[in-house]
Amino acid sequence: MVRTLRKARLHGSLYYRREVVEAEIREIANIGDAELERRAALWPSTVPEFISPEALVYLVRNLPSGVHRDNITGQLLKRVRRRLPPASNAGGKTESLTKMNIRDDVFHRFVDLLLSDRAEYDDRLDYYEVNFYHAIAMARLDASTRHWTHENRSEVLGSDEEEVSERVEAAAGNYDPFDADELDKKDYRLMLDDAIDSLPELQRRIVEMWRQEIPIESKNPLVDSISKVLGKTEKTIRTHRDKAFASLRMYLERKGKFR
C-alpha cells in the first residue's frame, strides 16, 4: 500500500501523486535492493528502467534506515544537484559567489527537509513527490531572490565607496574581532562564529578570508588576494571588511561578549 500524502491545499484537499508515479512506486516495491540501487543510478531519464525523482523521494522517505536507504539517498541528492545552476559566469571561467550560495542554499535546504522528515513526518516534502522539478525550481527562485538582493545591496554600497568607507571605518574603529586575548575565551569564539554567520554573504566571505590571513591585495600575480578571488576592487573589499567588523562589534556588544 503506497503511503498517502498529508499536505493539504488551500481549499482543504490533500496533495496527490500523478498516477504514473503511483504505478511506478508499486512496481519497484518488489525489486531487490541491489537492482533498485542499480536503477536509481540510471541517467538520463530516457534510459530504460529509469526511476523518476518523485519515486526516489518516496523511497527515501519510507525505506528503513541502513546502507540501502543511504545509497538511494545519495542518488536522489545527485538529482538535486543536476537541477541547480552552474556556479560560473557566462564564460565558464569565473566562479560566481552568489551562484555558489544559491546552489548551496537549495541543496542544504533539501537535505534539512530530509533530516526533518526522518525525525517526524514533514509535509513540506510532499510536493517533491508530486512535482520534483517544479519544487526544486521554486526553491531556486526563493534562494535566488534572497541572494541576488544581497548582491545588489553590495553593488550599491560599492558604487559610492569614498563616502561610505569613511562612515564604516569610523564605525569599526580599531576593533579587531580576532584579537588573540579574546580568542582565548571559548565562549567568545563560539559567539564570534555565530556573528560571522549572520553577516551578508559578501561580508562573511571577506571576513573568513581575512581570518585565514589572506591579503586584501597583492602585487605578486602568484599570490591569491581577497580582491582577486572575489573580483572586487581593493577599496570595495576594505569598505565591506570595515562594515562587517562594525556589525560584529555591535552583535557581540549586544550579547555582552565584548566591552
Question: Could you report the per-residue pLDDT of 31-66, keeping only the tens digit for each?
Answer: 999 999 999 999 999 999 999 999 999 999 999 999
Domain boundaries, the chain: 19-151, 160-254
Taking only the tens place, the pLDDT of each residue in 170-187 is: 445 567 788 777 777 777
The pLDDT value given to residue 157: 45
Amino acid at residue number 250: M
Please give the DSSP secondary-structure letter assigned to residue 19: H
Amino acid at residue number 9: R
Q: Which residue has the cell 504514473?
A: 20
Q: What is the Rg, in whole angstroms, of the alpha carbon atoms belonging to the chain?
A: 24
Contact 68, 33 (CB under 8 A): yes
* CA-based nearest residue to 129, from 51, 15, 27: 15
DSSP 39-62: HHT--STTSTTPPPHHHHHHHHHH
Q: Please tell me the distance from the alpha carbon of residue 168 to that of residue 235, in angstroms, as a whole number.
A: 12
**Residue 86: is the preceding peptide bond cis (ω within 30°)?**
no
Vertex 199: Cα angle to 207 and 248 (nearest 5): 70
* pLDDT band with cut points at 50, 70 and 90 for residue 87: low
Contact 230, 210 (CB under 8 A): no
Mean pLDDT, residues 22-27: 96
Please give the DSSP secondary-structure letter assigned to residue 26: H
The pLDDT value given to residue 101: 78
**Residue count of the chain:** 259
Q: Which of 97-101, 133-137, 197-201, 213-217 shows the lowest mean pLDDT across its residues? A: 97-101
Between helix 234-254 and helix 201-211 the angle, nearest 10°, is 90
Q: Please tell me the distance from the alpha carbon of residue 217 to that of residue 206, in angstroms, as a whole number.
A: 12
| Mean of per-residue pLDDT scores for the chain | 82
